[in-house]
Structure 1
Amino acid sequence: MREKLDRRKKYTRKVLKESLIALLADGKPLSGITVKAICERADINRSTFYMHFSDPYDLLNHIESEIIEDLIAYLNTYRFTVEEESQKMTQKLLEYIAENQFLFQTLLVKNKDPAFEKRLMEIARRFMMSAVPHMNKVNSRYLSTFVVSGAIHVIKDWLANEMDLPPEKMAALINHFANYPRLH
């Protein structure tokens, strides 16, 4: 009996998440999305929604937290030498984004969620700072902020342009831009 409830709970959360993302993808701002609209799209009643989430903001926060946890776990499965770390880690990040294209296009490009963007930046900074062990902490923090901010905006542009280059080429470009800021 417990397994059946867990499956039902997982299904309910899944359709609620999909419904919110679909509404955001349709161009509705989060502030304009009601619990009623989410429930109608998910074909679930409002009391069921409130058993899982307090409001659309809580639901979006839950979605973003799951993405962040999944992304960290995904990136932690890869280990590279210091020399190859930056480009390979960027490529793995871009591959993950490509696998979840609709979700990232919705949250970063269409919805332009600054909180989600900031969370992504923190993950990228953490991985980047571990790849630059020879630099002092303050310089490393500022360098990573500079590089990651630019990289996030390049990734958003890449998403907005339907990922017109494969992840490995984008990773090489981002790495090149980060290491050689003058255009050649």
Structure 2
Amino acid sequence: MAQKLDRRKRYTRMALKNGLMELLKEKPISSITIKEICEQADINRSTFYSHYADQYDLLTNIEDEIIDELNQALLQYDYTQEKEALAMLNYLLKYVYSRHEHFRILFSEHGNKRFTHKVMFAAQTHIMNDFNGPEHKMSETAAKYMTIYSISGSITVIEYWLENGMKESPDEMARIITEISKPC
């Protein structure tokens, strides 16, 4: 019986998340009502409120789920090794590609800028160690700014890639981002 309830809860949450993502294609989160989400998901309001406080809570849950998955992936790589850094970027781009519709929506003007900041913070936390190695003659402050600069540029390139139909493969995009991220 407990497994059946868990399956129903998972289904309900998935339906609500998908409903919100569909609505975000058309308008910003601030213009979306609980009623619209429930209609889109074919779920009643009381069921919605048994899972989420409001539409922002639901959006935060979607964002946090993606960030958790990214963090788990980022923990597996050593950024001081160039091959691993490329493999990590390749994995991340394949992940973005597999969930491209969600990323396209969350990075769009209808999403929440907070998501971009969450992605930047997650990446910065993992990459900072690369700039703190002995081969870099860079202060910690400069390393932070260099990391933010590199990550924000990469995110902008990924947003452009998503918006323009992902004509390049994730492997090709990983090579492009690696190439343009190298210091001159």
For normalisation by structure 1, the TM-score amounts to: 0.91
Distance 1:18 1:108 in 2: 16
Which region of structure 1 is more displaced relative to structure 2, 150-159 or 85-94? 85-94
For 2:166, what is the secondary structure of its paired residue?
A: coil
Does structure 2 retain, via aligned residues, the 8 Å contact 1:129–1:141? yes
Q: Provide runs of 4+ in structure 1 moved above 3 Å.
A: 77-81
Q: Please name the residue that 1:21 is paired with.
A: 21
- Offset of 1:5 from its aligned partner? 1.2
Number of residue pairs the alignment of both structures matches: 180
How far residue 112 of structure 1 moved from its aligned partner, in angstroms, is 4.3
CA RMSD of aligned residues (A): 1.6
Gaps of 5+ in 1: none
| 1:4 to partner: Cα distance | 1.4
The amino acid across from 2:117 in the alignment is K
Measure the CA separation in 2 of the matches of 1:77 and 1:141: 21
Q: Which amino acid aligns with 2:150?
A: V
Aligned to 2:9: 9
Indicate the residue corresponding to 1:137 in structure 2: 140
Identity %: 41
Indicate how the Cα distance of structure 1 residues 129 and 81 shifts in structure 2: closer, same or farther if over 3 A, else same.
closer
**d(CA) in 1 for partners of 2:152 and 2:22?**
27
Cα distance change of structure 1 residues 99 and 86 upon mapping to structure 2, 3 Å threshold? same
The 5 Å alignment of 1:156-175 reads 156-175=159-178
Query: How high is the TM-score relative to the length of structure 2?
Result: 0.91
Mean Cα displacement is larger for which, 68-77 or 54-63?
A: 68-77
Cα deviations across residues 135-154 of structure 1 (Å, max 9, x unaligned)?
44222111101111111101
Paired with 2:86 and 2:77, the residues of 1 have a C-alpha distance of 12
